[in-house]
Amino acid sequence: DGGITQSPKYLFRKEGQNVTLSCEQNLNHDAMYWYRQDPGQGLRLIYYSQIVNDFQKGDIAEGYSVSREKKESFPLTVTSAQKNPTAFYLCASSIESGMWSGANVLTFGAGSRLTVL
Amino acid sequence: DAKTTQPPSMDCAEGRAANLPCNHSTISGNEYVYWYRQIHSQGPQYIIHGLKNNETNEMASLIITEDRKSSTLILPHATLRDTAVYYCIVRGGAAGGTSYGKLTFGQGTILTVHP
């Protein structure tokens, strides 16, 4: 079945450590996104990528980094510079094109819950 | 993107219709209305979207007012599994704009379906 796979589902990290969250999709979607969700809050956009080898900062990019070397993969690194990294991280993808002018439906993964000890 | 306003919570009896309102008074002509829902500790799930006309699919119906300043998501026969947070999102359709590719999620409406 086509979809988005995030791993790991749960992750614990010590302060000062970098950690990388994996996101893989087999939907042949061009665009991919990372969101962060804190308890009782909505989703906030960290980074997004419209095509391979290109990505843009979202609303809360500080302390995070991404890469988009392959269409299927968009890993997120939470660096030690991120002050409050404990959160639920969601990856999503959508069909996009340079001439897109219509609706944009996102497909989400199941999420990764990061806890900093 | 236009800002949306939703009630923080709503209740519904199982088997009855759930009508979730959303205000988007600053919506512009090329902006779509999307609805997603999120069951606790899972990724959001797409429900439906529309531009001007009312829409229906196997999950729900979307009613958009003529002036497009508000909309209502209707779950015709709510079940206990419909208990979730429902997000109404408005987003433009023009490629290359500053909001390209982004959906902004607010806090949504917590819908509780009870027996």
pLDDT class of B98 with cuts at 50, 70, 90: very low
* pLDDT attached to residue B4: 92
* pLDDT attached to residue B41: 85
Residue A104 with chain B: CB contacts under 8 Å: 32, 91, 93, 101, 103
Instruction: Kindly report the number of other CB atoms within 10 A of residue A48's CB atom.
Output: 27
In angstroms, rounded to a whole number, what is the distance separating the alpha carbons of residues B87 and B6? 8
In angstroms, rounded to a whole number, what is the distance separating the alpha carbons of residues A31 and A54? 10
* pLDDT attached to residue A101: 52
Beta bridge partners of B38: B85
Q: pLDDT (tens digit, 9 = 90+) per residue, A6-17?
A: 999 999 999 889
* pLDDT attached to residue B105: 82
Q: pLDDT (tens digit, 9 = 90+) per residue, A48-106?
A: 998 899 999 998 999 999 999 999 999 999 998 888 999 999 999 988 654 445 667 88
Name residues whose C-beta falls within 8 Å of residue A45's C-beta, 6 or more positions apart in sequence. A33, A34, A35, A58, A59, A60, B102, B103, B104
Measured between CA atoms, the residue of chain A closest to residue B33 is: A103
Dump the DSSP string for A20-62: EEEEEE-S--SEEEEEEE-TT--EEEEEEEEETTEEEE-SS-T
Taking the Cβ of residue B106 and every Cβ of chain A, the question of whether any pair is shorter than 8 Å is answered with yes
Q: Is the pLDDT of residue B94 over 60?
A: no
Taking the Cβ of residue B97 and every Cβ of chain A, the question of whether any pair is shorter than 8 Å is answered with no
pLDDT class of B106 with cuts at 50, 70, 90: confident
Once rounded to an integer, what is the mean pLDDT over residues B20-38?
91
